[in-house]
Amino acid sequence: MSSVSQTKEQILSALKDIPARDFLATAKDLLEVLGYQSDRTQELSGSVDDFIQEFPAYSQNTQTSQAFRKHVRSVRLVFQVTSDEIASVDQPTLGFEADSFDKGQQQSFMFFAVELKEETYARGWYAQFTREINKRLSQPTVVLFKTIDHRLTLSFVHRREHRRDPGRDVLGHVSMIREIDPADPHRAHIDILAELSMAECSEWIDIHNESHNFDGLLAAWLDKLDTEELNRRFYGELFDWFKRAVEEAKFPSTVSAEQQVIRLITRILFVWFIKEKELVREEWFVRAEMEKLLNDFGGSDYYRAVLQNLFFATLNTEMDMRGFSTKTEPSHRVFSRFRYQSLIRDTKRFKSLMKQTPFINGGLFDCLDDEESRSAGGIRIDMFSDPDPKDGPRAAQARREAWRELNVPDALFFDEDYGLFPLLNHYKFTVEENTPIEQEVALDPELLGKVFENLLAAYNPETRETARRQTGSYYTPRAVVDYMVDEALVATLAEKVNPTVDDADFWQARLRYLLDYADAFEDANELFEEAEAASIVKAIAEIKVLDPAVGSGAFPMGVLHKLTLVLQRIDPSNERWEALQKERATQRAAEAFDTPNQHERDDELTEISDIFERYRDSDFGRKLYLIQNSIFGVDIQPVACQIAKLRFFISLAIEQKKDETVDNFGIKPLPNLETRFVAANTLLSLDKSVQLSLGQTDAVNRLEQELNENRERHFHATTRQQKFDCREKDAELREELAAELEGAGFTPYKAGKIARWNPYDQNAVADWFDAEYMFGFDDGFDVVIGNPPYIQLQKNGGELGKLYKDTGYETFARTGDIYQLFYERGCRLLRAPQGLLAYITSNSWLKAEYGKALRRYLSERHTPLRLLEMGKDVFENAIVDTNILIVRHCHNGVAGKAVDMDRLSDKSFPPTESLWEELRLQGEKPWSALSGIEQSIMDKMEAVGTPLKEWDIAIYRGVLTGYNDAFVIDNDTKEALIAEDPRSADIIKPVLRGRDIQRYRAEWAKLWLIATFPTLVLNIDDYPAVKRHLLSFGKARLEQSGKTLPNGTKSRKKTVHAWYELQDTCAYHEVFKKEKLIWMDLT
């Protein structure tokens, strides 16, 4: 048995002892198994009051200390570990050489054992308790918590030096391994504990050339508790599974395998998350259980008989409506019925397990097959339907052929080496999204966003090239999202709410305090008058936020988290929030067109009361009505909308608790978000004449309002029948509206655009966007926020440029980028005059020629408030300089502020307020974040200097290979090619990438270019090693023909050059050998 395996066995044994013995002793035993041991300790009584007296806090907080006293049964010091022990890693256990506990020894670790009074605690409570202990100590402190039912949590606070007082630390975020079950610990919990063992940390120290002392051990712990590294490892493994599934799984031909696998992963990941809430039985994912349940496990029946029945006929079907379809009843395409009974050996066990899962709703598990037959034009996407009893022989044969179209091997899920479930079981999942102040060492729902941006969109279905290059999407880091959300919400709330004290700076400071996670446990009501707090809650209830390129939902989720935080802090009992929701429902009832709707509104009032009664102490009611009224998203990719909705579903699901004694186990079915996140082209509006006609006649106005009411009804629909009725009504109203518009003189095509947009079709994309029609209001958004795509309009033969050229954009430039149009579209969508736009984009527009129109548009029409130039490395896989821009809708001439982080010595994000300079706008001239002195020097240089373009120099661009993977090689490959054939050295040259160029120097990454420039007229047969290397990538792939290959990939673009030559002629290649100035970016 390996030492790691032995450590894991010992961890299991130590955990099993925890319920039976004194916690101080069992905590000490567990730490000893991990290699931490010390005789230096201080005996404490265990009393919370004694602990607080012995370790007084630097600053007191009565509220948090009272909560600590209320929930903690005992606090005891296990021991203290210093560099002396860490250096003694070669010893079997670490004996402490000093003879006494030293409270003042900062270069040490403290370990505490804390017993709690309840069975389970939310992550926030553990974070609060951990911080309460750590603020009384000057050393990094590891806390072991034990609940009343013996669940174990290990937590650790990250510290940084206080910026103004070097003698103090600032407590950062809390990392924790949460609620380990000693009787049946999760595999991932054992793995993480083993990773933290002294032996594993010592190995990490050696690998990273750290010292075997306190600093080295601290660095090891920080690295091993880093959730980003955990996420990266998971992405890599899931990506490998994704590629295999795309190759091996067979789906109906109407939809690409990539899209089907993406949808499958999102559904399974959602199930995996709610499994953490015990809403789905574990047995469904255990091989031994499925071998007993299915007749022929090992083929491809699991996906049909289990997963499809779980998705469509269980999670998407009310508990009392479930049952198998039969040949005698007309339910062959009623998707709420179980299918594939013939594949199931033990139907009684099958139904018993399904019965333990509540109805979830939400749309994620809607079967996407049409109810119409294929012969009538019906589409099969999920292939979840029985044979029609009336089918003749030909139809039956077609059915058998359709059956063969769907084949998802059981091995893809269960194989120990590459199956999805063994992969997922290697990791611990948590349903709570990590925040900047508390992070569970587990996979949280935010990973769904990263999976989308980094994995699920990895292939474009048409070209099979990376979709990142095709769609221009990049996952925005959490810190950037939080900063942009904070800036947008502070500026918006500052305008909407009048403070009782007329001090704008103090008011903004108080609003920032409300939004700061670091202050989440402080009593915010002490800083706000009653009238101010009530006005803030009302402003939040009225706010409207849009992400026009929603991606995986990072910004809408950021807004949801922050607004929920504010409501928690100033309306902890939900009284104000509940009253506002009832006020809104009453108003809607008064505006209803007919009496039945008024009855529905009365029912809505009752439902609101029930929700706040049931979830008084949770965030469910806060989140539900924020999602209903305040947060909206648009994206041109339907799968992006699906994943954004999925994250909101999980956010609501975590606020509910299972109760098997009440209907649906006490789980309120999730809302339907089809009219909150829509798949559409944000940049294209409805035809202006159609837009102007909406609401211009009584009939059109009535139909629009009926549509809005019907879609609100659908949002809350909690049964399949209710959803079906709403969707049927929606289709009828859309047809009526189109007819009214035709009657007003519009062509059937223009009028039909309205009728053709079906918000409930999860695969459709509208080629237009209209907020009034799609979301039901027309006075603009308070905040438009996001990370729009970066795609040059001239790419792909200028396809996008042609699409948007004549659509009325003032900022359009043929050589420009699509994000410029998003700036203008976002500003148009703002509520006048105080709406706020917050974008992160490439910063090329700030200085490039094609950015002139955008600079002029923003300078003359709106008010830029903040420009933050971020530099590179914001996005993990993108080489692009970025900026964050905050813009007010109105043009009021107020000077904004700017800062360029590349020019700062302190790279802390966000920059402190003292580092910001005045933003000097000069119309269409380039913008920059220069100080007054720097700007003055720049003006003088421009006045007397000669522009670069007027110098007697030649300007060239670098090398375009057309396929870097083949032509740019690392040092090992270069050495191998030269060893095989020394002549290879003649055509292998060192190469620099843009990212390798720094100010005044280059940081060469030891990469080499196979320099087969066409002007050299090389014979590749003279370089056999290089030829063999290039052929390993496939000659067809390297051909410069522009053809699409049988496997869906494309060869390099069409040129006259040979397959082994670089893409462009590059006749100036001799210049590369001469002295030159290199600029890292092309604008």
pLDDT at residue 874 above 80?
A: no
**pLDDT category, 953, cuts 50, 70, 90?**
confident
Question: Which tens digit of pLDDT belongs to each residue from 876-924?
Answer: 555 578 899 999 999 887 889 999 888 887 778 888 888 898 888 888 9
Least confident residue range of 222-226, 466-470, 577-581, 799-803: 466-470
Confidence label for 934 from pLDDT (cuts 50, 70 and 90): confident
Interstrand relation of 438-440 and 72-82 (parallel, antiparallel or unpaired): unpaired
Let me know: does 901 contact 911? Beta carbons within 8 Å: yes
Angle 128-130-135 from CA coordinates, rounded to 5°: 95
Q: For the ranges 333-342, 918-927, 1055-1064, which has the lowest average pLDDT?
A: 333-342
Q: Which two tokens stand for residue 538?
A: 């009302």
pLDDT band at residue 97 using 50, 70 and 90 as cut-offs: very low
Q: Could you tell me the sign of the dihedral formed by the alpha carbons of 577, 273, 269, 724, in that order?
A: negative
Residue 792 phi, psi (nearest 5): -65, 135
Q: Is residue 463 over pLDDT 50?
A: no
- Report the distance separating Cα 108 and Cα 79, nearest Å: 10
Distance between CA 916 and CA 151 in Å, rounded? 48
Selected residue with higher pLDDT from 1046 and 99: 1046
The pLDDT of residue 218 is above 70:
yes
> Three-state DSSP class for 378?
coil
- Using the predicted structure, report yes or no on whether residue 354 has a pLDDT greater than 90: yes
Residue at 910: amino acid letter: P
**Residue 466 scores a pLDDT above 50:** no
**Residue range 128-143: average pLDDT?**
90
pLDDT winner (highest mean) among 378-387, 861-870, 930-939: 861-870
Q: What's the rounded mean pLDDT across residues 544-571?
A: 94
Helix axis angle, 575-591 to 595-614, nearest 10°: 170
| CA 219/CA 226 separation, integer angstroms | 11
Q: What is the pLDDT of residues 749-803, one digit of tens each?
A: 878 888 889 999 888 899 999 998 899 888 999 999 999 988 889 887 888 989 9
Question: What mean pLDDT do residues 403-432 have?
Answer: 91
pTM of the model: 0.83
**Structure tokens given for 347:** 């139907």
- pLDDT level of residue 263 (50, 70, 90 thresholds): confident
Say what the alpha-carbon torsion angle 854, 860, 861, 866 is, to the nearest 10 degrees: 70
Q: Which amino acid is at 993?
A: R
1022: left (phi over 0), alpha (psi -120 to 50) or beta: alpha
> Phi/psi of residue 523, each to 5°?
-80, 105
Q: Pull the structure tokens for residue 782.
A: 């308070």
Of 18-32, 150-164, 810-824, 845-859, least confident by mean pLDDT is 150-164
The residue-averaged pLDDT of 568-576 equals 92
pLDDT, position 880: 74
Long-range contacts formed by 585-590: CB under 8 A, 24+ apart: 588/709, 588/712
The stretch 635-651 carries a mean pLDDT of 89
For 831, the token pair is: 């509520």
Mean pLDDT for 128-134 is 91
- Of 24-28, 456-460, 1068-1072, which has the strongest mean pLDDT? 24-28
| Residue 494 pLDDT class (50, 70, 90 cuts) | very high
- For the chain, what percentages of helix, strand and coil (3-state, to nearest 5) are there? 50, 10, 40
pLDDT at residue 419, as a whole number: 96
pLDDT at residue number 592: 61
In angstroms and rounded to an integer, the radius of gyration of the C-alpha atoms of the chain is: 31
- pLDDT of the residue at 292: 95
- Report the pLDDT value the prediction gives residue 977, as an integer from 0 to 100: 95
**Tens digit of each residue's pLDDT (9 = 90 or more) over 689-747:** 665 555 567 888 888 889 998 999 999 888 888 988 999 999 999 999 888 888 877 78
Q: Tell me how far apart the alpha carbons of residues 86 and 94 are, in angstroms, rounded to a whole number.
A: 7
Backbone torsions φ then ψ of 677, nearest 5 degrees: -130, 110
Average pLDDT over residues 617-639: 93
Q: What is the pLDDT of residue 61?
A: 64
Dist CA 117 CA 4 (whole Å)? 34
Mean pLDDT comparison of 210-219, 413-422, 1048-1057, highest-scoring range: 413-422
pLDDT bucket at 451, cuts 50 / 70 / 90: confident
| DSSP assignment of 758-794 | -TT-TT--BS---HHHHHS--S-BSEEEE-----BTT
**Measuring CA to CA, which residue among 468, 474, 449 is closest to residue 841?**
474
Report in angstroms the alpha-carbon separations of 149 from 66, 120, 122, 275, 373.
Answer: 23, 8, 15, 20, 55
Q: What is the H or E stretch that residue 871 is in?
A: strand 863-871
Q: What's the confidence (pLDDT) of residue 327?
A: 61
Decide if pLDDT at 584 tops 90: no
Tokens, residue 611: 């929700």
pLDDT number for residue 96: 38
Answer with the residue of higher pLDDT: 930 or 7: 7
Average pLDDT, the chain: 85
Q: Which DSSP string do the residues of 935-968 spell out, in sequence order?
A: HHHHHHHHHHS--GGGSS---------S-HHHHE
Report d(CA 982, CA 999) in Å as an integer. 36
Write down the pLDDT at residue 601.
Answer: 66
Cβ(173)–Cβ(439) below 8 Å: yes
Of the two residues 354 and 479, the one the predictor is more confident about is: 354
As to burial, measured by CB atoms within 10 angstroms (0-12 exposed, 13-18 middle, 19+ buried), residue 353 is: buried
Specify the pLDDT at position 873. Answer: 62
pLDDT, residue 372, reads 56
Which domains are assigned to the chain? 3-225 (no CATH), 231-446 (no CATH), 686-767 (no CATH), 788-945 (3.40.50.150), 964-1073 (no CATH)
Which pLDDT belongs to residue 470? 46
How large is the greatest C-alpha to C-alpha distance in the chain, in angstroms? 94
Rounded to an integer, what distance in angstroms lies between the CA atom of residue 627 and that of residue 648? 8
Alpha-carbon gap, residue 747 to 596, rounded angstroms = 35
Mean pLDDT of 509-519: 89
Q: Is the pLDDT reported for residue 1047 higher than 90? A: no
- Order across the sheet with 152-161: list the strands: 72-82, 108-116, 141-146, 152-161, 169-180, 438-440
Give residue 469's pLDDT band: very low, low, confident or very high (50, 70, 90): very low
Q: Mean pLDDT, to the nearest integer, of 659-673?
A: 90
